[in-house]
Structure formats: structure tokens, C-alpha cells
Chain A
Amino acid sequence: MHETTILLIEVGALLLLLGLLGRLSRRFGVSPIPLYLLAGLAFGHGGLLPLNASEEFFAVGAEIGVILLLVMLGLEYSANELVGNLRSAAPAGLIDAVLNALPGFGFALLLGWGWVAAVVLAGVTWVSSSGVIAKVLGDLGRVGNRETPVILSVLVIEDLAMALYLPLVTALLAGVGLMKGGIALAIAVFTVVVVLAVAIRYGHLISAALSAKDPEALLLGVLGLTLLIAGVAAKLQVSAAVGAFLVGIALSGPVAHHATELLSPLRDLFAAVFFVFFGLVTNPLDMPPVLLPALLLAVVTMATKVATGYLAARRVGIAEPGRWRTGLALTPRGEFSIVIAGLAVSALYPVDPKLAALATAYVLITVVTGPLLARLPDTQWFKQWLRTRAAAAARTPAPLPAPTGD
């Protein structure tokens, strides 16, 4: 009984704090993710005020948080959008993967963390945060911009790639070696293809089974289905997150729309718990030694993201300013990077504990600076700089000069 009382006090106090932090971050127009992480660091192992009674609660909540993050991500896309987009966006996705996964991969090897950690860190530096970027695009009124489809298609490819990458990492982290990792990957590829095919052809039937009319039944139905499939996927070592993502994709139409509305508050709650939990299990004392490497990695990979966006936008004939907007908008990493690092932390054979600290520091840096960088192209001096560049380019003949603006 006593345990429960303390648990209530701890959970309540922490959630209240998160609420205040969330409000604070909104006032400054930044993502609340870094504040949640910091709160977790402060109250976790080796933090200012360790919470003990509620750790198990946060562990389960975090698990649900990941699943909800992923199912909502899946709900955002229809299977047709994912597949229809694939061919045209594949080159951009490939550039993205090469330019952003390799720095993380090489970095971990340089630090001597072994190649499993390298695969994990590659994932951490590769994926941008769809959630943060979609919000930034909305906030900056850029949804109608002509480079926006480029940004979205890079995000779609990344999210889809994660459906194949996560099972691989899960298998590697379970210490099953390349052979079993390959089998897990094969199962994942097969599952993803089957789900996409079924969703394109019979998505309306699955959605029809869950009526959009009764909110309570819909909420319980979708949540239940998601947790069930996520659990089964985890059992098959395909990663619970991927299972949830696939459920989201399979649902479509009004059901998906209503489920999004119903699940959003739940997602917000459990996602916050997830970020806090990640901070809780990361020892802040591990942070100082990795701060500098994290900063270095952030600078390098933000540069490669900008290059990715620039190249992807140039491919489809977007002018110079739009290319910069694409690149700079893509820089923030967030929930997915933490999901990947979270997998590594909770793995059977944990990789170097500094990895979690590095990932935390890395996400802290990129998720704060990313949205600020995204604003850069709207500033006067940046536009001026572009004009000077364009003027210089006009003097020396160059292909596709940007509009000079005067």
C-alpha cells in the first residue's frame, strides 16, 4: 500500500513538472522533447533526486509511448502514399541514408565501441524527426511551399526504412549474430511487404471492422490491436515499434482520422513518459565526457543533412533558397533517434553505456538547434547572402542560377 502511495506521488509530481516544462517550451516555440530528457536526467540514476518507486511504471509507460509514437506515425500515412512515393523519392532517400548513416557509423567505430554500436549510432544520426519537422513546417507556414513535398518524401522514406532497420538492430542487440539477424530482417521485409499489399488492397476492410462512429470502441479497438500486434512482433523479434507502425499504415480513411484524434492525447502522455524514462536510465555523469563528441557529431551530421536536402531539392528543380530551406528543415533528430538508442539501452547485451549518453546529448543538441536552423532562411541576412551568391554566380556562368530578387 505504502509503495503505491509513493508511486502516485512520484508519478504525479513528475507529470506535473512535465506539464509546466511543456508549457514553458511552447512559450519559446521550441520542442518540449529536450526539456523532458533533461527532467529525466535530473531524476534518474545518479541524478539530482533519484525516483525509485515509479521506475517500473515509467518503464512500462515508455514501452507504450514508443508504440503509440509509431502507430501515430503510421496513421499519418496511407499505404498508397508510402508506395506511390517510393520510386520518385528513392534517390533522395539513398543520398540521405549514405550521407547521414555513415558519419554515425564511422564515429562509433572511431570511438572503439564495436560495430553493433556503430549500426545503432548510424540509425541515430540517419533519421530526422518527422514530428518536430512537421510541426516546424506548420509553424513557419511552409506547408504550401514547393520544396515541402521533397522534405516529406525524405521523411517518408526514412520512416519506411526504419521498418526494416529496427528489426535488424533488435536482432543484433539480442546478440543473435548475423545469421539470425538476417532471418529477422527477412521476416521483417516479408511482413512489411505483406502489410503494405494488404493495406493497399484491403485497407478499407480492416478499417471497416473498426467503426469510426463509436469513439470508445474505436479507441479501445485501435489501442488493443496496436498493443497486440506490437507484442506479437516483439515476440517474433521484429521489434514492437515496427508492428505498431504497420498497424498504423494498415488503417485508413475515417477510422485513421478519428483514431488519430483519439490517440493524440494518449500519445502525448506516454511519449513524454518515454522521453523522461530515457533520461531516467541515462546517468548524467556519463554526459560530460561525451558532450564534445556529441557536439562534433551534431555539427557534422547537421551539415550532411543540409547537403541531403539541398541535393534532393535540386533534383526536382527547386531554386536556391528552397534548397537551403529543405536542407535546414531536415536537421532536427528526435523521437526516432531516441527510440533506436532506447533499444540499445534495454538490450540483452547492452552496448557501451556511453552510447545512451551520447545519443541523449546528440538529440538534445539537434532538437534544440534544428528548429532554429530551419528559421534561418527567413532571416534578412540569409536572403542577402543568397542574393550576393546569386549575383556572383550570374557573373561567372553557372547552371540554374537562383532568382536574384531585384
Chain B
Amino acid sequence: MRVRVEQTALPGIGVRHDLMTESGRRLGVVSHRNGRRDLVLYDPEDPDSCQHDIPLTDDEAEALADILGASLMLGQLSGLREQAAGLLTEQIAIPAGSKYVNKRLGDTKARARTSASIVAVLRQGTVNVSPDPTFRFEAGDVVVVVGTRQGLDGVTAILAETDPDV
């Protein structure tokens, strides 16, 4: 499952990461030292040469990473859904006013109270898979929860601005 990513230093320019896909295409990212980054696609006929060189702004790169990360996540979750009927997944955002901002995941006691599990937290384009109980939330985090309908609603209520049980 792990993909081998090659890292190459480009003296005076920055660094390049590239990988070979299963379909035989090579693609990479050139990170320039001045903060610019390029997505590069290599020529299948001449694997040393890049066919396309697409400059990405910070926002574009983040958006692309989000799309790739999120679609992967959803793909895995939908696979899970097929295995266990009746189990639902939901993405719940933590509002800035929630009392669990800056609190640990364990403090919510979400699993004990709702029997739904927090399986991942999305934060600024990065995915924290299986966060442990010491994981600290920040405003704007999106938690991915797996559970029954009732359980999911329970977690939503806990993370909302006013925790019903406290």
C-alpha cells in the first residue's frame, strides 16, 4: 500500500518529490525555495522528461491536497459502509464556540456516551487518522465519526456550542 516517494535535492532551486503510479506514469512536485511549487507530469515515452509543468499557488496546492485527501477518506469510509449495514459516517465541524476547542479528544467521552467513534480529524488539509484520546481539538477541525444515526446525532450535540449533558 505504501508508495515509494523519491526525494531529490535541486541545488539552488529547491527539492523535488516524485513517484511512479501503478499505471506507469511518473508524477512529482517541485518545491521551489521561494515558496512556489510546480506539479509535474512526466512523459510516458521518455520518463526523464516532464511533459507538463503546472505552477500552483499556495491556495491551489492546499485545495488539491484537500480534494485528494478527502476523496481518499470518503472512499475508505464508503467501503466501510458496505461492510456494515446500519453503520453511518458523518463529518462534523467543531464550531469556534464549542467547549471542546483546545480540549482533548478524551475529554468528550464521546464513545462512552454515544457509542459512536471519532475515526479521523481533518485539519487545514491534513488528515489525522485514528487520533488518540490526547489529541487536542482546534476551532474549525472537522471530525469524521462512525456510528448509528443516534450516535452521530449525539456526537454532533456534544461538539455543538452547548453540550447538552454538562
Q: Which residues of A contact B (CB under 8 A)?
A: 76-77, 81-82, 84-85, 130, 134, 141-149, 152-153, 155-156, 257, 318-319, 321-322, 325, 403, 405
Contact = CB atoms under 8 A, between A and B. Distances in A.
A77 B48 contact: no
Interface string B8-27: 11111100101000000000
Contacts of B42: 144, 146
Given A143-B10, A143-B40, A257-B33, 16 more contacts: A77-B11, A81-B11, A130-B12, A134-B12, A142-B49, A144-B38, A144-B40, A146-B8, A146-B18, A146-B47, A147-B48, A152-B10, A319-B48, A321-B49, A403-B46, A403-B47
A316 to B, nearest CB: 10
B147 interface: no
B83 interface: no
Most central of B28, B46, B50 by chain A CB within 10 Å: B46
Nearest to B39: A144
Most central of A84, A143, A322, A405 by chain B CB within 10 Å: A143
A154 B95 CA distance: 54
B45 interface: yes
B96 to A, nearest CB: 31
A195 B11 CA distance: 18
Contacts of A145: 48-50
Contact of B48 (A76, A130, A318): A318
A148 B18 CA distance: 13
B134 interface: no
B46 A152 contact: no
Contact of B11 (A153, A322, A325): A153
Nearest to A404: B45
Contacts of B153: none
Interface residues of B, number: 23
B30 A144 contact: yes
Contacts of A321: 46, 48-49
Interface string B41-74: 0100111111011000000000000000000000
Nearest to A387: B45
Nearest to B49: A145
A144 B50 CA distance: 6
Nearest to B6: A146
Given A152-B10, A156-B11, A322 B49 contact: yes
Contacts of B13: 134, 143, 152
B76 interface: no
A148 B10 contact: yes
14 contacts: A77-B11, A81-B11, A142-B49, A143-B13, A143-B40, A146-B8, A147-B49, A149-B11, A153-B11, A155-B11, A319-B48, A321-B46, A321-B48, A322-B49
Contacts of B9: 81, 84-85, 149
A144 B16 contact: yes
Contacts, number: 78
B45 A405 contact: yes
A76 B12 contact: yes
B30 to A, nearest CB: 5
B166 to A, nearest CB: 45
B12 A143 contact: no
Contact of B10 (A82, A149, A318): A149
Nearest to B34: A257
A403 B34 CA distance: 35
Contact of A142 (B8, B47, B50): B50
Nearest to A88: B9
Most central of A143, A146, A152 by chain B CB within 10 Å: A146
Contacts of B38: 143-144
A76 B12 CA distance: 5
Contact of A152 (B11, B34, B48): B11
Nearest to A148: B10
A347 to B, nearest CB: 30
A142 B30 CA distance: 11
Contacts of B49: 142, 145-147, 321-322, 325
A148 B32 CA distance: 14
B58 to A, nearest CB: 16
A330 B61 CA distance: 32
B17 to A, nearest CB: 10
A385 B13 CA distance: 32
A67 B104 CA distance: 56
B26 to A, nearest CB: 8
Contacts of A155: 11-12
Closest 10 CB pairs of A and B: A144-B40, A322-B48, A141-B53, A76-B12, A146-B48, A144-B50, A405-B45, A81-B11, A144-B30, A156-B11
Nearest to B40: A144
Most central of B9, B38, B49 by chain A CB within 10 Å: B49
